[in-house]
Structure 1
Amino acid sequence: MKKSERLELIKKIVQANEIETQHELLEHLAAEGLRLTQATISRDMNEIGIIKIPSPKGPYIYGLSQDSTQSDSPVPKPIRSTVLSISKETLGLEQMLHLNVVPGNSRLIKRFLLEDFSELIFSVLADDDSLLVIAKDSAAAGTIREKLANWVAEQD
């Protein structure tokens, strides 16, 4: 199976099922005759833009970061829908921002941050549900914080 076909199959499975873990997704793919490693599925999910979203039943499930009813908003949908909080400026830590995100989405948010603010960012550290953004200076941190706050405020 070609990579493009595999990515389309993953999208189809995620859209048709409430999948909570990568292991569940791997099981669905195996049922379709496709055996992948966790590392491969993780890379594919990042490339597709699959993020964790709240399900109607409560737990977070995988979903696509942009749906077919995409708005004309310049704000990347994953940032609008997955950033839970942004730290306020803290004395002595003016160059840093801390973001709490929906678990499983920090890698995708990190990618968007680096694409949009590369000239302002020194480094970004990410774990499963948070990011530490270290800006090049306090003015850069203020610019990033303000733009992110506006993006989050634009949530539907």
Structure 2
Amino acid sequence: MKKLERQKIIRQLIQNNKIETQEELSQHLLEKGITTTQATLSRDIRELGIIKNRYEEGSFYTVFDYEGEPENSGLIRTAMSLMDTMSAYVISVSRAMFILVVRTGLGEADLVADAIDTSNRSDVLGTIAGADTLLITCQDEASAANFEREIQNAIQPH
């Protein structure tokens, strides 16, 4: 199956179902006979501009509303601020001196890391992303404390 066809199906699944995790999305795809790797699914989510919105009944994937086709999705990434990304994907954040430990849903840590890396924050030295955990190394403890507060403010339920 071609990438654009798969992404079209992913968009439809997100628009028509309350999907909370990448695993759940992967299951829906399997039911349609589509097998993907976690890396491919993460990439598709990022390219399609799919974000998570928090509601009282839970956090669900939604398609960032834009005009045009998926190939124009580069516009989405520039439209979403870093804190929008944090709000969409971060579950919790904690700090150990100048390092932040961020928890996300499975397969979403790299989305957050990419948003931080491309934001060119001078207070961040670098990021390391796993499947659902992200380490952020900050310049110093004060920078880490400030960034932690920003993230905490972004992830508070609306």
Q: TM-score, normalised by structure 1?
A: 0.64
Instruction: Name 1:103's counterpart in structure 2.
Output: 106
Instruction: Name 2:86's counterpart in structure 1.
Output: 79
Instruction: Name 1:150's counterpart in structure 2.
Output: 153
Query: Do residues 26 (structure 1) and 26 (structure 2) align?
Result: no
Q: Between Structure 1 and Structure 2, which shows a larger proportion of helix residues?
A: 2
1:1-12, aligned counterparts within 5 Å? 3-12=3-12
State the SS of the aligned residue for 2:134.
strand
**Given the superposition, is the C-alpha separation of residues 122 and 18 from structure 1 closer, same or farther in structure 2, using an over 3 Å criterion?**
same
Amino acid at match of 1:80: S
State the SS of the aligned residue for 1:45.
helix
Asked if 2 retains the 8 angstrom alpha-carbon contact of 1:51 and 1:105, the reply is no
Please give the per-residue CA displacement for 1:84-123, whole angstroms capped at 9, x wherever unaligned.
32214x4xx3x21112223332122222222335432222
In the alignment, the residues of structure 2 paired with residue 2 and residue 76 of structure 1 have an alpha-carbon distance, to the nearest angstrom, of 32
In the alignment, the residues of structure 1 paired with residue 57 and residue 154 of structure 2 have an alpha-carbon distance, to the nearest angstrom, of 27
Match of 1:63 among 61, 85, 94: 61
**Gaps spanning 5+ residues in structure 1: where?**
none
In the alignment, the residues of structure 1 paired with residue 149 and residue 53 of structure 2 have an alpha-carbon distance, to the nearest angstrom, of 24
Please give the per-residue CA displacement for 1:18-67, whole angstroms capped at 9, x wherever unaligned.
4552532432553xxxx554243342123224456789987x7x612646
| Higher relative contact order (Cα pairs below 8 Å, separated by 6+ residues) | 2
Asked if 2 retains the 8 angstrom alpha-carbon contact of 1:79 and 1:109, the reply is yes
**Gaps spanning 5+ residues in structure 2: where?**
67-79
State the SS of the aligned residue for 2:14.
helix
Asked if 1 retains the 8 angstrom alpha-carbon contact of 2:49 and 2:63, the reply is yes
Asked if 2 retains the 8 angstrom alpha-carbon contact of 1:49 and 1:108, the reply is no
Number of residues of Structure 1 aligned to a counterpart in Structure 2 = 142
In the alignment, the residues of structure 1 paired with residue 32 and residue 145 of structure 2 have an alpha-carbon distance, to the nearest angstrom, of 44
Query: Do residues 115 (structure 1) and 118 (structure 2) align?
Result: yes
How large is the RMSD of aligned CA atoms in angstroms? Answer: 3.6
* Larger-Rg structure: 1
Asked if 2 retains the 8 angstrom alpha-carbon contact of 1:86 and 1:149, the reply is yes
Amino acid at match of 2:94: S
